[in-house]
Amino acid sequence: MSELWSLTATEIGAGLRAGDFTARAVAEATLARIDAVNGPINAVVERCDAQALAAAEAVDAALATGDPLGPLAGVPVTIKVNVDQAGMATTNGLQLQKDLVAAEDSPVVANLRKAGAMIVGRTNTPAFSLRWFTRNSLHGATRNPRNAALTPGGSSGGAAAATAAGIGVIGHGTDIAGSIRYPAYACGLHGLRPSLGRVPAVNFSGPDRHIGAQLMAVSGPIARSIPDLRLALEAMAAPDLRDPWYAPVSLQGPSVPRRVALCVAPDGMEVDPAVESALRDAADRLSRAGWIVEEQETPPLREAVRHQLTLWLAETRRGADEAIREENDPDSSLVYERLSAMTPAVDVNGLLDTLQARAGLSRAWRQFLGQWPVMLCPVSGQLPFKDHLDTESQSAFEGIVAAQMTQIGLPFMGLPGLTVSTGTVDGPHGKTPIGVQLVANQFREDLLLEAGEALVGATAVNYAAVDISAG
């Protein structure tokens, strides 16, 4: 038998029900894995040993009495430090919030617990969850376990690095501008950004967020296999009316034609030849699996990026400007300065215009995805970036933003997206993960998962071989 920490969620469920091992044994193996590999990568910044073992005991007790088990019973998971978990600090990578201890779980964390998941640790994020790189003054830097020269992604870089290294089977992440999809891409994993309203999530440790974050920020899973993403979504999406955006929509939608729009360079974005090659190979695989694939032009995306950044910066200028100065984290201060240089401030009329534009853009995209139920496009226009490239120069930063057009723009319309890892290529910094993105209409995550499984199958990608000597 494989080591217990290396099993998928589906394998753990089958093994527990067959009596091959106990949930406690899985929890202990995963905690030992943290001991062995977390040092060099710094993905988990706060451990939850006691909570994990208590959850394991509850699963084993249910097995002993024949009580029903949840979809993630006995499955080790990690939680990002920007989400409330009772008794733990919701730091969001900030010195300012190191003592902000949550009194109760966010609905997404509560749902994972109800599904039987064992929370083994909390994962790192950049300060303010503001970058596609993961480093902060409180918890330090997270490194990519597949290639330390590359970013692990951000802002859920800790979640992806942990999952790739075998620390937890499923990593909880959040995504407002790619923070699930991009870390999955950089770490050679699959990552699902659900639709707005699919997964209930709110932090009771602070005030409600402003309208932009309410419309664009979601919680979702990162995993090594598509079946594990499906299980994780089922668990995370359980009803919780404490989130006013939660929508009780079935996880399985009506049948639609299996048609895929191949969009190699959405709205004219520049795309690296290796990324284009991965997209065309993915299109061929889907065609062989029976999907009709045709190359298409997308509705406007640059405009959505501009409006997304306008909302993001308007809220940051009003609600976090002083906190960024007080935290004085070098990375977040620099990124905020560079984003501000790219995004002029707007008055209330500009804000109203931005929200009005969202209706038209959402209409255009939903009509497009009505005709083409799945879109195949880049996760990023470039291979995973050299770590901390965004701090090198304003021009480097602007190049990164341009490459992240699909990461930033698609959330503006509330659409779901799935990063699918398709292998590795030889990049300028060595062996580099690569993948593609699938996009569908709101609440059609089922189509994304179906297409993802048609693309890469149900087999899990391999774990990263962490260089423990680096620790």
367 and 373 Cβ atoms separated by less than 8 Å: no
* Residue 424, strand partner residues: 433
Catalytic residue among 106, 129, 155, 421: 155
Catalytic residue among 106, 179, 195, 332: 179
Tokens of 214: 């309410």
Catalytic annotation present for 179: yes
Catalytic residue among 80, 106, 195, 362: 80
Q: Walk across the sheet containing 292-295 and list its strands.
A: 44-47, 118-123, 76-80, 170-175, 218-223, 190-193, 417-427, 430-439, 374-377, 259-262, 292-295
463 and 33 Cβ atoms separated by less than 8 Å: no
Please tell me whether residue 439 adopts helix, strand or coil conformation: strand
Nearest to 465 by CA among 98, 37, 106: 37
Q: Is 357 exposed, middle or buried (0-12, 13-18, 19+ CB in 10 A)?
A: middle
Strands 259-262 and 292-295 turn out to be: parallel
Q: Which amino acid is at 32?
A: A
Please tell me whether residue 108 adopts helix, strand or coil conformation: helix
112 and 85 Cβ atoms separated by less than 8 Å: no
Catalytic annotation present for 80: yes
Please tell me whether residue 294 adopts helix, strand or coil conformation: strand
d(CA 374, CA 376): 7
Catalytic annotation present for 195: no
Catalytic site residues? 80, 155, 179
